[in-house]
Amino acid sequence: MKKLRFLCIAPYEGMYHLMTNIAAQRGDVELVIQSGNLDDGLKTALDNRRGIDAVISRGGTADALRGHMDIPICDIVPSAYDILRTIRLAQGMGDDFAIVGYPSITHPAEKLCEIMQFSIPTVTIRSPQECREKLAALRDKGTRIIVGDMISATCAQEYGMHGLLIVSGMESIESAINTAKDICLRYQTLDRRASLLRDLLVSDERDCAVYSPDGREVFATLDPVPPELADAMRQHVSHVLARSSVKLSRRLGNEMSTVRGRLLASGGEEFAVFTISRAASLLGGRQAIRYCDLSSGADSALSTLFRYRSKRPVRKRFKTRPPRSGCAPYASSTPRSTRLYSSRAITAPARTASRSTSTAAAVCATVRSSSWISVDSRKGIGSFCSRMTARRSPIPALRSISAISTP
């Protein structure tokens, strides 16, 4: 297993030497030790972040690192012995003193004072500017000694007060290193599991994309997701969350993509999960097949089939057998725009106003062989439906509809 590498930022020189001694004694981790406090420490950490698994620092420097780095930041928390030793030193100086510092310093100090029944003012700061404001107020109240971290001890000297630094011992630094090691080992375990699940999804024939309720991409096996497909999925996130399932199709180049969306609840949150199945276009990319249900497909296809002008009546493209009794045969008494069609198959060309574009439509119907229909091209599909309803004849059941367009 690869050895873990930790970046240790020492805010003062004494800690730098302690970290150097610890690095020489430990063989389970690699320690990269640098000096820096607050902004200087942040810049040092950003410059040396390559190949680092975690960063170890203290007080305000550790707080500054958390907002700029995406790896674990472990704070060196002073032990009770470290705080008590500095408090005893301040008590021996005889003047009023206060404890000032970042939360990692003041919180354990407050607990210690409560246990030891010390009446020591404790002030928590979160920025150098706030530290200066608090120190100015304490100076006006007669406080002459400041116990705290590096920033408070340095600013105290600027205001004419004595600054006593709470020094972290070797035990506190060792504890921070052990904590960082435990966190990184757990991260590695979770990362291996996440990689396994990702590889499992990527190896599937279908692609997958997960979106949050606000349309943000959480996970995707496609890298990157085609913009047209991503926009379509984002538009249907609300539908997935409302209906629990959605299906849509998109043609991308020479491929037809079928997307199915479903609702997934995980960790108290809801997500829209889309699975994407892709297949090569059957018509070489210049055409497309549109899939629709029976009710909408019948009206669309038949309306397209019989959309002709009266000057160009439909011409029979096939031979039909003689009609049965009860149906008027095609004769001179029948208008030119009215034709008889066998219910077995109907094929007719449809011409648009543009000569550069032609459309062919095929409608396949499977009914009883005795069914014959008469269609008036001038009145369109409405006439066909009304005639069939009036005759109380069974309307042919459309089994498949395909619309083919060629440039």
Identify the CATH number of the domain in which residue 259 sits.
3.30.450.20
Q: Are residues 142 and 219 in the same domain?
A: no
* pLDDT, the chain, mean: 75
Q: Are residues 125 and 139 in the same domain?
A: yes
Are 15 and 61 within 8 A, CB to CB?
Answer: no
Classify burial at 272, counting beta carbons within 10 Å of its beta carbon; exposed 0-12, middle 13-18, buried 19 or more.
buried
Q: What are phi and psi of 383, to 5 degrees?
A: -65, -40
Q: Are residues 348 and 302 in the same domain?
A: yes
Q: For position 205, what pLDDT does the model report?
A: 75
Q: Are residues 37 and 181 in the same domain?
A: yes
Q: Are residues 134 and 255 in the same domain?
A: no
CATH number, residue 40: 3.40.50.2300
Q: Are residues 340 and 398 in the same domain?
A: yes
- The model's confidence at residue 282, banded by pLDDT at 50, 70 and 90, is low
Classify burial at 392, counting beta carbons within 10 Å of its beta carbon; exposed 0-12, middle 13-18, buried 19 or more.
exposed
User: Would residue 250 count as lying in a domain?
Assistant: yes
Q: Are residues 159 and 88 in the same domain?
A: yes
Q: For position 9, what pLDDT does the model report?
A: 92
Of 72-81, 98-107, 365-374, minimum mean pLDDT range: 365-374
Supply the pTM of this predicted model.
0.56
Q: Are residues 68 and 85 in the same domain?
A: no
| Domain count of the fold of the chain | 4
User: Would residue 330 count as lying in a domain?
Assistant: no
What is the residue range of 247's domain?
Answer: 205-280
Most confident of 37-46, 162-171, 393-402: 162-171
User: Would residue 48 count as lying in a domain?
Assistant: yes
Answer whether residue 15 shows pLDDT above 80: yes
User: Would residue 54 count as lying in a domain?
Assistant: yes
- The model's confidence at residue 291, banded by pLDDT at 50, 70 and 90, is low
User: Would residue 324 count as lying in a domain?
Assistant: no
Q: Mean of the pLDDT values across residues 41-49? A: 87
CATH number, residue 90: 3.40.50.10660
Classify burial at 131, counting beta carbons within 10 Å of its beta carbon; exposed 0-12, middle 13-18, buried 19 or more.
buried
Instruction: Return the residue matching tokens 């995707």.
Output: 220
Q: For position 271, what pLDDT does the model report?
A: 92
Are 122 and 106 within 8 A, CB to CB?
Answer: yes
Q: Are residues 32 and 177 in the same domain?
A: yes
Q: Are residues 89 and 155 in the same domain?
A: yes
User: Would residue 136 count as lying in a domain?
Assistant: yes
Q: Which residue has the higher pLDDT, 337 or 158?
A: 158
Among 135, 154, 188, identify where a domain stops. Answer: 188
Tokens representing 251 are: 């043609």
Q: Are residues 138 and 213 in the same domain?
A: no
User: Would residue 85 count as lying in a domain?
Assistant: yes
Q: Which residue has the higher pLDDT, 251 or 75?
A: 75
Nearest to 123 by CA among 103, 108, 143, 140: 103
Q: Are residues 55 and 97 in the same domain?
A: no
pLDDT in tens, 342-391: 333 343 443 433 333 333 333 333 333 333 343 444 444 444 444 444 44
